Amino acid sequence: MSNSASNQSSTVQFRHFIDGSFCDSSDNRTFLKRNPADNRIVGHVAEGGRSEIDRAVQASRTALEGPWGKMSVEERSALLYKVADEITRRFDDFVAAEMADTGQPKSMMEHAFIPRGAANFKIFADVVKNVPNESFQTPTPDGAGALNYAIRVPKGVVGVICPWNAPLLLMTWKVAPALACGNTVIVKPSEETPGTATLLGEVMSAVGIPDGVYNVVHGFGKDSAGELLTQHPGVDAITFTGETRTGAAIMKAGADLIRDVSFELGGKNAGVIFADCDFDAAVDSAVRSVFLNCGQVCLGTERLYVERPIFDRFVAALKDRAETLKPGHPEAKTTTLGPLISQEHRNKVLSYYEKARQEGATVVTGGGVPKLEGELAEGAWVEPTIWTGLPETAAVVTEEIFGPCCHIAPFDSEEEVIRRANATEYGLSTTIWTKDLSRAHRVAAKIDVGITWVNSWFLRDLRTPFGGSKQSGIGREGGVHSLEFYTELRNICVKL
Ligand code: NAD
Ligand code: 6OD
């Protein structure tokens, strides 16, 4: 039995991790966490409030003054390598925890999400050891000059507010650079996915990360741990991944504190498929970008624009592939499609399936709920769905759904498709498919997003700048770009 998840009367308890110890809420409040694949109870989660956030802020401020604040970059990096190794040693526990929370197939946890969680610690442990320092020799009237240089110091206490769609990967994408730069963190995991953030507390203790450096307070957003964290004057910066409207609420909550924010928000990403593309590769990629993680990927494609000469063939090919996706138990090797994260999210996605019908879409495939037997019958399943025939103003073409679905429209010219791809309030990512590389460069430069893939999708190099334009985010994280957010630059001018 682990420290974090005690097993009383067969019920797992997910506890807060504050100042190096697992604890319950001061008022003992908890909420239920269910597995979305079969609706069975995974456990009871401690529900944090003001008292837990206050304690976590106190612990993380104290830790900044303690051994953590005195460590060299090399010592911190060495510890972060140990964190990565310990996640790898406890790989099966992390896979099981994330599977229970999300219901997604084991293969995806094993090959993508959990290894990335470990890799994030190694990459940022390396990045901080190679930070260039700028310096200038400044002329002075007496001819002696001055030396101007800049040092980077940690921001302080960073609040890390996380979504549920790739819990460990997205949390460590923030926690790893924050710690590498010498900050302390308070993580508020999504209420839907308490598992891996809690396990990471055990990992931090096991490898000797000092108390108070990594803290976890479970709970909800509004009027709960999330909002209390964003309003706390003892928090120096907030990094958040989630919905755009939550980002707006967080900005308002912290406005009086004039505090730095880094936001990775929603999207309505377009895929642009030209007739000269490698057809089979483009279809393969569309299957992934539309249906991976049951469509719950911020970088996923919900709008596909396909050049008219290959439009009918492309729609038919994607339909065939969508219909071979196999929902099933997360442990089963044959499962290629998981559930949505919750019944509540399923209601939202199904409301869009209904809106598409009302707005006159041709439902190429799906549009309903698959029939699953036995324990899975209670899960949050929906069918992979493809629509055509809607105007650009339709709800399912303009609003983020975050489900396994897309609208496919034909286009006739480069200018037209650029205009249509850009006709959205979001600007996270796009994928362009063509063998004409001049055209690929031209179109990529004109689509207003933070990340463009050409002849690929979700091909990540963790050193590259990651983030969105327009309402998809503020700031960039990744490689040295994370240093801009997780450190403060200080200019020191020495008169010689
Ligand atoms: P969400 O905004 O509902 O919740 C995210 C987190 O914010 C949760 O921990 C939640 O408890 C907390 N929260 C909610 N209201 C809050 C408030 N008022 N104050 C403080 N915290 C609050 O998002 P979600 O449903 O968990 O995730 C899905 C969304 O995340 C989608 O919109 C998706 O596009 C986006 N996302 C973006 C990226 C990216 O990199 N741009 C990555 C993954 C997910
Ligand atoms: O790969 C990443 O670093 C990243 N931030 C992925 C985001 C996935 C969104 O669902």
Task: Provide the CA 120 distance to its chain's centre, in angstroms.
Answer: 13
CA of 165 to the centre of ligand 1 (A): 9
Nearest to 221 by CA among 168, 169, 164: 164
Ligand 1 touching residue 428 (CB < 6 A): yes
CA of 298 to the centre of ligand 2 (A): 7
Strand order in the sheet with 146-154: 135-138, 146-154, 487-495
CA of 359 to the centre of ligand 1 (A): 28
What DSSP character marks residue 72?
A: -
**Share of residues in the chain with pLDDT > 90 (%):** 96
Nearest CA to ligand 1 atom 39: 264
Residue 264 known to be catalytic: yes
Mutation to probe ligand 1, out of 298, 460, 474 (largest number of atoms < 8 A from CB) = 298
Nearest CA to ligand 2 atom 9: 298
Nearest CA to ligand 2 atom 5: 170
pLDDT score for 9: 41
Ligand 1 touching residue 251 (CB < 6 A): no
Q: pLDDT for 44-97, tens place per residue?
A: 999 999 999 999 999 999 999 999 999 999 999 999 999 999 999 999 999 999
pLDDT score for 11: 64
Q: Which of 86, 98, 227, 264 is catalytic?
A: 264
Mutation to probe ligand 2, out of 170, 192, 193 (largest number of atoms < 8 A from CB) = 170
Give the up-direction half-sphere exposure of residue 75: CA atoms within 13 A in the CB hemisphere: 10
**Could you give the C-alpha distances from 191 to 33, 161, 197, 282, 395, in angstroms and in order?**
8, 11, 11, 36, 28
CA of 193 to the centre of ligand 2 (A): 16
Nearest CA to ligand 2 atom 6: 170
Nearest CA to ligand 2 atom 1: 460
What residues have CB less than 8 Å from 18, skipping those under 6 apart?
52, 55, 56, 59, 215, 216, 217
Asked if residue 361 lies in contact with residue 394, where contact means CB atoms within 8 angstroms, the answer is yes
pLDDT score for 12: 87
Ligand 1 touching residue 173 (CB < 6 A): no
Please report which ligand is nearest the Cα atom of 473.
Answer: 1
Mutation to probe ligand 1, out of 198, 227, 241 (largest number of atoms < 8 A from CB) = 241
Asked if residue 327 lies in contact with residue 338, where contact means CB atoms within 8 angstroms, the answer is yes
Mutation to probe ligand 2, out of 460, 464, 481 (largest number of atoms < 8 A from CB) = 460
CA of 284 to the centre of ligand 1 (A): 29
Give the chain's largest Cα–Cα span.
86
Q: pLDDT for 307-341, tens place per residue?
A: 999 999 999 999 999 999 999 999 999 999 999 99
Give the chain's end-to-end CA distance (angstroms, integer): 62
Q: Which protein residues touch ligand 2 with a CB less than 6 Å away?
A: 165-166, 170, 173, 297-299, 460, 466
pTM, 2 dp: 0.96
pLDDT score for 4: 54
What residues have CB less than 8 Å from 185, skipping those under 6 apart?
60, 157, 158, 159, 160, 174, 175, 178, 179, 213, 214, 215
Residue stretches of the chain with pLDDT short of 70: 1-11
- The Cα–Cα gap between 67 and 73 comes to 12
Asked if residue 433 lies in contact with residue 273, where contact means CB atoms within 8 angstroms, the answer is yes
